[in-house]
Structure 1
Amino acid sequence: MIPHESRFESDPDELVGDLVDDHPGLPADWSVGTPDPDDAAEVARLTLLLREHERAGRGWPGAGEDDVLVEVSEAGLRTRENVVVRDADGQARAWGSVHDRAGGRMLFGHVVERDLDPQVGRACSDVLVEWAVGQAQAVGAARGLAVQQIDTGAFAGDERQAAWLGAAGFERVRTWWQMSRPVTPDEAGLVPSSDDWSDGGVRVRLVRRAGDGLPDEADLRAVHDVLEEAFRDHFNSWVETFDEFLHRLREDPGHRWDHWWLAELDGGEPVGALVGTVSESASGPDGSYVSYIGVREAARGRGVAKRLLNTIIADAAARGRDRVGLEVDADSGTGADGLYLSLGWQTRWVTESWHRDVTIDGAHGP
């Protein structure tokens, strides 16, 4: 179940207060605190930091205030915690976030203002990392773990971020292609109906709605079960409960229930699932995004994934969208990238996963 109380330490001074006071690279009048989600100016400032981080890393920004609020809002703090490093005027110059994603895996967001003096920027990075290590200790102990993984990322080619992470004990472990495919209006006819269609013994349909208009729980559990099985042997896969899975995906600003599809074989057995979201754009048409696509091993080789992908393409076209995006593991040997390339996807930018394992104080693991 999703915890009603956070597993994290809410007071950053408990974790990094001494480091902030004594770090030689940090101005003496700088401080740490937690962001205020009700302060519009603070949310706008964090959004600016995140957008400039994206611009420096890949060439253009994409984040908006909704993405920030996922991390810092009261609802988000059930599974997240945040810290900001503020200057003497109280303005945030660096922002860290952690997400208790699944047992053993903690995500870490690491954003430092791009225009800072290099020594001050490195000091801010040191504070964020030390805070994240402390949070890993807290969440790992609460979960009864011997080791807690910190999973963070960087844009490929971001030398500043890579240097800081490497110096802080993180290891670059994986590369990811961020791919996009253009969509044209005529592709709305790519499948007979993006709501429900069948071909070659495979049926693709939206998750059903219950009488109250909410999704049928049995269908949602089927999506979760399919994806858990499909990703069981994939890189850095951790077991995520149904409640954790549902809570996390519903937090996505692009979440829509009518973007969840199941694929079934004759007889109604669920063998594939695709969870899509909306990629909103302030300057043009929205896009669709494949958050998850998975096929059970026993059903692979029957074109299930291709049918699911054609369905979200057709759905995007019918909605007037101009693209469908997805992420693929560049280091995987599954050959999934070949399918995406054959269907028109191309890599737009590349990201990296960086990991650090934290041994939990006092733990008695295997």
Structure 2
Amino acid sequence: MRPPAQAPLAVRAQAPSELAPPPDAAGATWRPVTADDGAALVSLVTRIESVDNPPYRTSPEEVLEYFDASHDWSALGAWDDAQRLVAFGFVRVRRGDSTLVRAFCSGGVAPDRRGEGLGGALLDWQTGRARQMLAESGRDAPGRIVVHVDDDMETLARQLRRRGFEPRRWYSQLRRDLSLPIPDVRLDRPLSVEPWSPELDDAVRRAHNKAFGEQWGSQPHTPETWAQEWSHHAPSWSFVALDRSSDRTQVAGYLMSSRYEQDWPALGWTEGYTEILGVLPDWRGRHVATALLTRAMRAYADDGMQYAGLDVDADNPTGADVLFMNLGYERTRGSAMYTVEI
């Protein structure tokens, strides 16, 4: 019987009192993955992506972010007889979550060890561990176990459905050809688009929390979680829309870009990637987002990029998808968020 919705998260999570690792199989021994295993984890992710050939590559810096201090995390790995890591699974709960506590699950199995049940065993362990970590979080709010699934990951999607996960949100990856004319968008004074600077960073973080505060699944960033977002931040491609109409300058909007050079060979093109774009409520409808996007496009093009890229939530309530299409963005691929709601 499921506990009532108003029960504390520690009760609703229905966490197992004990969670043993999967039984050892022929040539595979399970044990926790720690930060000391970073090099082995980087090697396994590289082997997986070299065979699966996704349209991106995870850099060593991004892999090691699994261990960052902005999340509580737990990880399990399978090691072969040669002490080579052949499968891994992480569960990460972000410390800044307050009104919704999320447990993010990620992992993978070496291509030469698939079909042996390692992936399913990891998913079972991750689901149980996620329930434990939600119960241990000390926060009494709705909980969510999250797995992101690319469009072509059909086996993973089937495994998740069998374990009670459902697709809740869909995302599209878009690109815009920078060889096409870029519109000239000017903002009415006293609004201006200016380069991002470290001095503006915390004001941008606070503006982001306000801009996205009511969107589905969004949780506020602390200074620590915000800092962890930017392993590939491109300062010269990032911009802030400022309102200087009073003696206290206000952030009206912002665009933060990243430079994922390791992805370009897999993509087949170079791109400047718009990581986040936001406009605060008081300035919506004044072309702030368009001005930020076109300013970023010019910066990407000036540095020789072929495309501007970004992701968009298919259910974005701001109508951002229409804005992107009007600016010439086209869909290249997609992904879905599978969840268990607690």
Same fold (TM over 0.5): yes
Gaps of 5+ in 2: 1-16
Task: Tell me: CA distance 1:147–1:141, structure 2 relative to 1, closer, same or farther (3 Å).
Answer: farther
Residues 1-366 of structure 1: matches in 2 within 5 Å? Answer: 16-21=19-24, 26-27=25-26, 29-34=28-33, 40=39, 42-53=41-52, 55=53, 60-72=55-67, 76=68, 79=71, 80-101=73-94, 102-103=96-97, 104-118=101-115, 120-121=116-117, 123-138=118-133, 140-145=135-140, 147-184=142-179, 199-201=187-189, 202-208=191-197, 215-216=198-199, 219-245=200-226, 247-250=227-230, 252=231, 254-267=232-245, 268-281=249-262, 283=265, 286-358=270-342
Task: Tell me: CA distance 1:344–1:131, structure 2 relative to 1, closer, same or farther (3 Å).
Answer: same
Please give the alpha-carbon distance, in whole angstroms, between the structure 2 residues aligned to 1:260 and 1:299.
19
SS of 1:20's equivalent?
Answer: coil
1:270-328 Cα deviation digits (max 9, x unpaired): 21111111121464774211111011122111101000100110111111222211111
Q: 1:47: how far off? A: 1.9
Please give the alpha-carbon distance, in whole angstroms, between the structure 2 residues aligned to 1:186 and 1:93.
48
Q: How many pairs does the alignment contain?
A: 314
RMSD: 2.9
Task: Tell me: CA distance 1:175–1:263, structure 2 relative to 1, closer, same or farther (3 Å).
Answer: same
Task: Tell me: CA distance 1:35–1:221, structure 2 relative to 1, closer, same or farther (3 Å).
Answer: closer
Aligned residue number for residue 3 of structure 1: none
Q: 1:263: how far off? A: 0.8
1:167-208 Cα deviation digits (max 9, x unpaired): 122111011001111223985xx669xxxxx63223111234
SS of 2:235's equivalent?
Answer: strand
Aligned residue number for residue 8 of structure 1: none
1:91-138 Cα deviation digits (max 9, x unpaired): 3222222333341123221323345453x23x4333244235314523
Any conservation in 1 of the 2:253–2:279 contact (CA below 8 Å)?
yes
SS of 1:249's equivalent?
Answer: coil
Please give the alpha-carbon distance, in whole angstroms, between the structure 1 residues aligned to 2:135 and 2:252.
34
| Equivalent position amino acid for 1:199 in 2 | L
Please give the alpha-carbon distance, in whole angstroms, between the structure 1 residues aligned to 2:242 and 2:285.
14
| Equivalent position amino acid for 1:248 in 2 | Q
Any conservation in 2 of the 1:86–1:93 contact (CA below 8 Å)?
yes
Greater shift in the superposed pair: 61-70 or 289-298: 61-70
SS of 1:307's equivalent?
Answer: helix
Any conservation in 1 of the 2:45–2:108 contact (CA below 8 Å)?
no
Q: 1:142: how far off? A: 3.2
Any conservation in 2 of the 1:32–1:83 contact (CA below 8 Å)?
yes
Any conservation in 2 of the 1:45–1:92 contact (CA below 8 Å)?
yes
Gaps of 5+ in 1: 1-13, 193-197, 209-214, 359-366
| Equivalent position amino acid for 2:241 in 1 | A
1:71-99 Cα deviation digits (max 9, x unpaired): 25xxx255244332223333322222233
Please give the alpha-carbon distance, in whole angstroms, between the structure 1 residues aligned to 2:18 and 2:308.
41
TM (normalized to structure 2)? 0.80
In percent, how many aligned pairs have the same letter?
22
SS of 1:85's equivalent?
Answer: strand
Please give the alpha-carbon distance, in whole angstroms, between the structure 1 residues aligned to 2:111 and 2:26.
17
SS of 1:258's equivalent?
Answer: helix
TM (normalized to structure 1)? 0.75
Please give the alpha-carbon distance, in whole angstroms, between the structure 1 residues aligned to 2:297 and 2:207.
21
Q: 1:69: how far off? A: 2.6
Please give the alpha-carbon distance, in whole angstroms, between the structure 2 residues aligned to 1:15 and 1:114.
30
